[in-house]
């Protein structure tokens, strides 16, 4: 495999030669230095590198270029090499644009021209970026392929799992020539789909999520038998707890049943999170947090289902669905919530075949020029509507209330009102769905008249309610009538501590009825259902973890 590339882009030939010369002089023995004199030419070079299955470590792009400026180029380049480190070359007058680019294209650094002497102003920056890239390189391997049927719930589940775990793959239809050739080569037929062909050429027919995780590089087995902190659930609260716990020296394991990010990880654009004035996708925020947790030494287990908690005195035992277990001094429950199923005739049979719960971003390109329906009036539904409006001819939002103001942030309402292709239908609900191999039509009911009408559509995305993922807890910790975990003062009734509480103190603020077991984020009774508050509770839980451990 050829050495990884360092790409330089500048439309001034003299400057282009100078930066390539300086970079080649220091790094030419370990990296290939590729020079381009325009954004389009540089993108052509990147596409060729990608097709050859090679790597790009660092991209340095001039800001002021005709046809495509440096920010536009880096934004397009992210789609090809998302892990490559990005540097903007800019004059002093353009520093504001460079600062804005930190949020727009996740810029790693900007350099003021000229950078003489390079030993002081160029090389230290590139050294640091190369070190960072080497710690999480964009590994050059043949691509993973998924072969399946367009309207198959199993095929959708595989694609959704890979997408949510940020595993790149190529989607091929089984009844098209290339998909058929792959099935034949694997000795399989269309009845065996979905089939995943891994990067090393192994074919997995109808794989489980555990099979997928094991074959695409996700960790599924704990390295230790005992930890200081076990975090259950890798949404914003769980990731926050893992980052703070590991960074403070706690042996930390983060256990996730499906994929990191939770509901927030499916958000197409989060615009009210501190520090991101231009917004950030849930996947991007999740990936940063995941890398941060791993950087500090946290261990992340995927596709591991925790089915029970056992109090073992000064420790807690987490029991997994396969019969194994790990112990920990303390536990943070951060399992979040899931969307409620829409109770209407015909929809259950069409789940994954036109009816989707949450923002199924993998389906967005397939919605191009079609009409889609979204049920729900909170922020998740609004973010999905804005995102799908880029593809769909028309986006219909169905809400039970009279308007969106009760449950949606004002900034999202303003965006929706400014997009002509989004229409809000107040006091409207779905009462039935129909279709053969996929959703074909919906029956809608309008209140207060009770009048129904039928609409033709193949797409329904549901964002209603919030059911906590706590059934597995049983009676091990106290929950409220809706299943949310009760913590802190909520556990004190008429001055009495919860039954079975054996400590001479009241439960800490985020502590459950089982000593040493804390709850953070959406799963906690009374929590604020926002990403920032979930992250804050995850961090706060670690402070209480320290207090608990010091008292033991």
> Which DSSP string corresponds to 54-86?
--EEEEEEES--SSS-HHHHHHHHHHH-TTSEE
Decide: 168 and 144 in contact? Cβ < 8 Å: yes
Question: What is the layout of strands, in order, in the sheet containing 56-62?
Answer: 32-36, 5-9, 56-62, 85-90, 109-112
Cα three-residue angle 354-358-434, rounded to 5 degrees? 25
Decide: 398 and 463 in contact? Cβ < 8 Å: no
CA distance linking residue 527 with residue 213, whole number of Å: 32
Domains of the chain listed by start with CATH number: 5-135 (3.40.50.2300), 144-215 (3.40.30.10), 226-337+467-551 (3.50.50.60), 348-462 (3.50.50.60)
State how beta strands 460-462 and 371-375 pair. parallel
Region 45-74 average pLDDT: 83
Decide: 212 and 196 in contact? Cβ < 8 Å: yes
Helix axes 236-247, 531-551, angle to 10 degrees: 40
Does residue 103 have a pLDDT over 70?
no
**Res 248: pLDDT:** 95
CA distance linking residue 131 with residue 211, whole number of Å: 32
**Res 360: pLDDT:** 67
**Res 202: pLDDT:** 83
Does residue 94 have a pLDDT over 70?
no
CA distance linking residue 232 with residue 524, whole number of Å: 13
**Res 552: pLDDT:** 78
Mean pLDDT across the chain, nearest whole number?
89
Does residue 98 have a pLDDT over 80?
no
Of the pLDDT bands very low, low, confident and very high (cuts 50, 70, 90), residue 443 is: very high
pLDDT in tens, 136-165: 765 554 578 899 998 999 999 999 888 888
Dihedrals phi, psi of 292, to nearest 5 degrees: -65, -45
Q: Give the three-class secondary structure for 374.
A: strand
**Res 415: pLDDT:** 94
**The CA-based dihedral angle spanning residues 470, 474, 479, 482, taken in that order and rounded to the nearest 10 degrees:** 60
Helix H segments across 389-454? 410-418
Region 90-105 average pLDDT: 63
């Amino acid at each position: 495999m050829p050495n990884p590339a360092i790409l330089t882009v500048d439309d001034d030939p003299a400057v282009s030669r100078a930066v390539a010369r300086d970079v080649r002089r220091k790094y030419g023995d370990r990296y290939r230095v590729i020079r381009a004199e325009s954004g389009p030419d540089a993108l052509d070079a990147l596409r060729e590198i990608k097709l050859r299955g090679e790597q790009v470590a660092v991209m340095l792009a001039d800001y002021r270029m005709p046809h495509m400026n440096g920010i536009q180029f880096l934004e397009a380049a992210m789609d090809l090499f998302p892990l490559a480190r990005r540097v903007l070359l800019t004059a002093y007058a353009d520093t504001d644009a460079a600062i804005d680019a930190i949020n727009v294209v996740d810029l790693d650094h900007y350099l003021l021209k000229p950078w003489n002497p390079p030993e002081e102003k160029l090389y230290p920056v590139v050294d640091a970026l190369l070190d960072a890239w080497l710690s999480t390189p964009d590994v050059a391997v043949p691509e993973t392929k998924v072969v399946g049927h367009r309207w198959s719930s199993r095929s959708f589940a595989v694609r959704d799992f890979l997408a949510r775990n940020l595993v790149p793959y190529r989607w091929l239809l089984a009844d098209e020539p290339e998909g058929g050739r792959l099935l034949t080569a694997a000795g399989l037929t269309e009845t065996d789909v979905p089939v995943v062909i891994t990067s090393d050429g192994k074919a997995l027919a109808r794989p489980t999520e555990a099979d997928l995780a094991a074959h695409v590089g996700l960790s599924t087995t704990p390295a230790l038998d005992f930890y200081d902190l076990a975090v259950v659930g890798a949404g914003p609260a769980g990731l926050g707890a893992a980052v703070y716990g590991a960074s403070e020296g706690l042996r930390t394991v983060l256990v996730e049943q499906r994929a990191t990010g939770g509901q927030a990880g499916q958000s197409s654009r989060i615009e009210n999170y501190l520090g991101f004035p231009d917004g950030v996708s849930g996947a991007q925020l999740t990936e940063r947090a995941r890398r941060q947790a791993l950087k500090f030494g946290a261990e992340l287990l995927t596709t591991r289902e925790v089915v029970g908690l056992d109090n073992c005195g000064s420790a807690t035992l987490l029991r997994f669905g396969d019969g194994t277990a790990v112990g920990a001094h303390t536990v943070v429950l951060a399992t979040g919530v899931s969307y409620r199923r829409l109770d209407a005739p015909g929809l259950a049979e069409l789940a994954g075949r036109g009816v989707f719960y949450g923002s199924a971003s993998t389906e967005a390109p397939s919605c191009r020029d079609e009409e889609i329906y979204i049920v729900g009036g909170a922020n998740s539904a609004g973010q999905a509507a804005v995102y799908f409006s880029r593809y769909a001819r028309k986006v219909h939002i169905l809400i039970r209330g009279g308007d969106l103001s009760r449950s949606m942030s004002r900034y999202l309402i303003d965006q929706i009102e400014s997009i002509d292709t989004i229409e809000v239908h107040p006091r409207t609900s779905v009462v039935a769905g129909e279709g053969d191999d996929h959703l074909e039509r919906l029956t809608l009911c309008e209140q207060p008249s009770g009048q129904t009408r039928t609409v033709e559509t193949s797409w329904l995305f549901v964002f209603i309610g919030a059911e906590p993922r706590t059934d597995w807890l049983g009676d091990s910790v106290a929950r409220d009538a809706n299943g949310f975990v009760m913590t802190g003062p909520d556990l004190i009734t008429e001055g009495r501590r919860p039954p079975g509480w054996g400590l001479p103190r009241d439960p800490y603020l985020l502590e459950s009825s089982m000593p040493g077991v804390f709850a953070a984020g959406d799963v906690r009774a009374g929590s604020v259902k926002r990403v920032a508050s979930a992250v804050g509770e995850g961090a706060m839980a670690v402070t209480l973890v320290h207090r608990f451990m010091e008292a033991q």
